[in-house]
Amino acid sequence: MRKLLLALMLMIPGPAIAESLVSTVSSPQVLITSSFDGATLSLFGNIEGTAEAPAAGPYNVIVVITGPLQDRVTRLKTNSFGIWSNTDSVDFRHFPSFYAVIASGKLDAIATPELLTQYAIRPEEQARLAAQSQVLKAERFGMELVRLMIEQQHFVVREDSVRFLSPTAYAVNLTLPSDVANGPFLVHTLVFKNQELVAERSEGFSVRKSGFENFVFVASRQQPLLYGLVCVLLALGTGWLAGVAFKR
Amino acid sequence: MQIYLPIAELSMNLFFLIGIGGAVGFLSGLFGVGGGFLLTPLLIFSGVPAPVAVASVTGQVAASSTSGALSYYRRGGIDLHLAMYLILSSTIGAMIGVATFSALRAAGQLDLFISVSYLVLLGFVGTLMMIEAVRTLMRRRAGVVMRDKLPGQHNWMHALPMRIRFKKSRLYISVLPVLAIGVFIGWVGALLGIGGGFILVPALVYLLRVPANVVVGTSLLQVVAMMCVTLVLQAVTSQSVDILLAFCLMLGGTVGAQFGASAGKYLRGDQLRALLALLVLAVAIRFGLTLVLPPSDPFSMAIIAGRLG
């Protein structure tokens, strides 16, 4: 679905692009070890012109980082017969587990509203895309979902947070929370000039467990019965050991 | 010190985990209950995804109950004969419970059912125990001599056929109520993800008249068996047992259970029951309040199982 979206984006005829973008992520792979407590990444880029039309700003940059997609449900509690219970819910399919928008200025000032909608830059647009229906209820639940994701620091919108090292070179810091989902992350960088898109580039990095953490995870998925039996032995062994240690 | 939990996919403070494991383990050793009904909500409140919390606590309860059961066994506080009947019947109950769990989830009413049954079960058991314990305490204060076993106090259950002699418990009763209690505990345990100790202890005391000196140990042994079965079932079906999380909780829990079991020796049976009744009632009230009070945020979100990435 994401690939399809990208393909659609690329087919949309833009203005004659004179600028191009060179960018990189500080680490293409974030490895999770036992002491993992979140990670900070840096994204660097440079806007390049051609010989005839050298790059000349002022440029604005929006970096959109999308984490692995998940199916989520947003539920609403209401009171019936004096008891609060979940009575209504909306499913969101292929919804980002992590979503960060980092911009060099206010989003409204950088790009036209049409471009912001077309590229689904605001988190609310992601909810709209993931909702299974387009009725008013899905809209409302989508807004609440985004609010909850922002509260849990899975969604981030940071305006005025792209550092320009020169008129064409920029750097962005990205912090991943400690409960970040594992999997592929997509970094989509858009360069704007006079509210028009002049260059864009996609790249990625991945977050995955390494060493013992990875071993445990793989074991729990591929050998669940054995994994369960090991858990039982561990529990009985630990209990027995404590019993022996405290024997008087 | 942060430690990354590979199945929960988040990092938590190691000392916090050992600490809450220890605190709950202490209560578990003291009262002969698993403590899952306290630990699971605590973990969920700390940000652990609910399925991982439920599944991993099973491991901690198994460990601390093992350690508690061992210390009762050494004191001769377990009726192995009675425990065997309970374990066999509760395993059957657990299988029925797993099936019920799936049926309720398909009907979409699992959350409400779990909250309401916690409330009803804890409230009912807690109130009964409280009434009984207060009555005993008052009678003792009035100077009436109480014995642990009340001879001659038989109820209709003792008139059922298929009687069996449980030597350690000094009981000669029908096997039918024993099996019925086992099936019920297994069913509720699998359904609510608890060991069922807080139901089993009063059931043994009030329904079967098992003497106080073997109630807690026998209940702990039953909880160990129940939790081991559930642990394997969880690992295979939901794959959400976090072995590191469980181990951190076990470290605290087993040590706590030892201290709890020692502390239990300094309290009388009726005092223990009154304290357990207070604890059970407190949790019941907490569940009741979440059902009745307006939630701080009416909206909530959850990942639908079968996550990608």
Residue B237: closest CA among chain A residues belongs to which residue? A224
| Mean pLDDT value across chain A | 85
Q: Is the pLDDT of residue A50 over 80?
A: no
Would the ipTM clear 0.95, i.e. be above it? Answer: no
Predicted confidence at residue A226, as pLDDT, reads 93
Question: Is A2 touching B (CB cutoff 8 A)?
Answer: no
Predicted confidence at residue A188, as pLDDT, reads 92
Predicted confidence at residue B307, as pLDDT, reads 38
Question: Could you read off the pLDDT of A66-84 as tens digits, one per residue?
Answer: 999 988 888 888 888 888 8
Taken as a whole, chain A contains a residue count of 248
| A74: chain B residues, CB-CB within 8 Å | 299-301
Token pair for A91: 């499913």
Q: What φ, ψ does residue B90 adopt, rounded to 5°?
A: -75, -25
Q: Using DSSP, state whether A216 is helix, strand or coil.
A: helix
Q: Is the pLDDT of residue B253 over 90?
A: no
Distance of CA A66 to the CA centre of its chain: 3
| B302: chain A residues, CB-CB within 8 Å | 72-73, 75
Question: Is A158 touching B (CB cutoff 8 A)?
Answer: no
Question: Could you read off the pLDDT of A112-147 as tens digits, one per residue?
Answer: 888 888 888 888 888 888 887 778 888 889 899 999
Predicted confidence at residue B18, as pLDDT, reads 93
Look-up of token digits 């403070």 = B13
- B4/A34 touch (CB, cutoff 8 Å), yes or no: yes
- A74/B298 touch (CB, cutoff 8 Å), yes or no: no
pTM score, two decimals?
0.77
Predicted confidence at residue B151, as pLDDT, reads 45
Cα angle, residue A22 at apex, residues A18 and A25 outer, rounded to 5°: 155
Candidates A93, A144, A232, A244: best to mutate against B (most CBs of B within 10 A) is A232
- B4/A33 touch (CB, cutoff 8 Å), yes or no: yes
Cis check for the bond before A123: say yes or no (omega within 30 of 0): no
Higher local confidence (pLDDT), B277 or A248: B277
Question: Could you read off the pLDDT of B219-233 as tens digits, one per residue?
Answer: 888 888 888 888 888
Q: Is the pLDDT of residue A102 over 90?
A: yes
pLDDT band at B109 (very low <50, low <70, confident <90, very high): low
Q: Using DSSP, state whether A133 is helix, strand or coil.
A: coil
Predicted confidence at residue A236, as pLDDT, reads 92
Predicted confidence at residue B152, as pLDDT, reads 47
Q: What is the CA radius of gyration of chain B?
A: 19
Of A191, A183, A181, A173, give the one whose Cα is nearest residue A21. Answer: A191
Token pair for A121: 């830059």
Give the closest-approach CA distance of B91 to chain A in angstroms. Answer: 16
Name which of A182-186, B96-100, B164-168, B180-184 the model is least confident about. B164-168
CA dist., res. B294 & res. B298, Å (int): 8
Q: Is the pLDDT of residue B196 over 80?
A: no
| B60: chain A residues, CB-CB within 8 Å | 235
Cα torsion at A114, A117, A123, A127 (round to 10°)? 150
Counting one residue from chain A and one from chain B, the pairs whose CB atoms sit within 8 A come to 211
- A68/B247 touch (CB, cutoff 8 Å), yes or no: no
| Mean pLDDT value across chain B | 81
| A70: chain B residues, CB-CB within 8 Å | 303-304, 307-309
Residue B229: closest CA among chain A residues belongs to which residue? A232
Instruction: Point out the residue among B62, B300, B301 whose CB comes nearest to the CB of A235.
Output: B62
Taking each helix axis from N to C end, the angle separating A123-130 and A136-151, rounded to the nearest 10 degrees, works out to 130
Residues 185-214 of A with CB under 8 A from B: 209, 212-214
Instruction: Point out the residue among A33, A83, A220 whose CB comes nearest to the CB of B235.
Output: A220
Number of H helices, E strands in chain A: 7, 12
| B304: chain A residues, CB-CB within 8 Å | 70-73, 91
Q: Is the pLDDT of residue B309 over 50?
A: no
- B294/A241 touch (CB, cutoff 8 Å), yes or no: no
Predicted confidence at residue A84, as pLDDT, reads 83
| Sign of CA pseudo-dihedral B90, B58, B76, B140 | negative
Share of chain B above pLDDT 70, in %: 89
Token pair for B112: 């409400």
Of B105, B241, B301, give the one whose Cα is nearest residue A96. Answer: B301
Residues 6+ apart with CB under 8 A from B162: B174, B175, B176
Predicted confidence at residue B154, as pLDDT, reads 56
Q: Is the pLDDT of residue A205 over 80?
A: yes
Question: Is A164 touching B (CB cutoff 8 A)?
Answer: no
- B244/A216 touch (CB, cutoff 8 Å), yes or no: yes
Candidates A231, A240, A248: best to mutate against B (most CBs of B within 10 A) is A231
Mean pLDDT of A198-219: 89
Of B125, B5, B128, give the one whose Cα is nearest residue B56. Answer: B5
Instruction: Point out the residue among A35, A145, A214 whose CB comes nearest to the CB of B2.
Output: A35
Predicted confidence at residue A88, as pLDDT, reads 84
| A179: chain B residues, CB-CB within 8 Å | 8-11, 47
Share of chain B above pLDDT 90, in %: 6
- B66/A79 touch (CB, cutoff 8 Å), yes or no: no
pLDDT band at A108 (very low <50, low <70, confident <90, very high): confident
Q: Is the pLDDT of residue B306 over 80?
A: no
Give the closest-approach CA distance of B49 to chain A in angstroms. Answer: 11
Side-chain-side CA neighbours of residue A189 (13 Å): 26
- B4/A213 touch (CB, cutoff 8 Å), yes or no: yes
Predicted confidence at residue B147, as pLDDT, reads 52
Q: Which of A220-224, A234-238, B292-296 has the highest mean pLDDT?
A: A234-238
Higher local confidence (pLDDT), B308 or A97: A97
Mean pLDDT of B152-169: 67
Supply the DSSP string of chain B, one letter for each residue: -EEEETTTTEEEEHHHHHHHHHHHHHHHHHHS---HHHHHHHHHHTT--HHHHHHHHHHHHHHHHHHHHHHHHHTT---HHHHHHHHHHHHHHHHHHHHHHHHHHHHT-HHHHHHHHHHHHHHHHHHHHHHHHHHHHHHHHTT----SS-TT---GGGGSSSEEEETTTTEEEEHHHHHHHHHHHHHHHHHHTS--HHHHHHIIIIIS---HHHHHHHHHHHHHHHHHHHHHHHHHHT----HHHHHHHHHHHHHHHHHHHHHHTTS-HHHHHHHHHHHHHHHHHHHHHHHHSPPS-SEEEEEPSS---
Residues 79-138 of A with CB under 8 A from B: 79, 82-86, 91, 94, 97
Token pair for A196: 């028009």
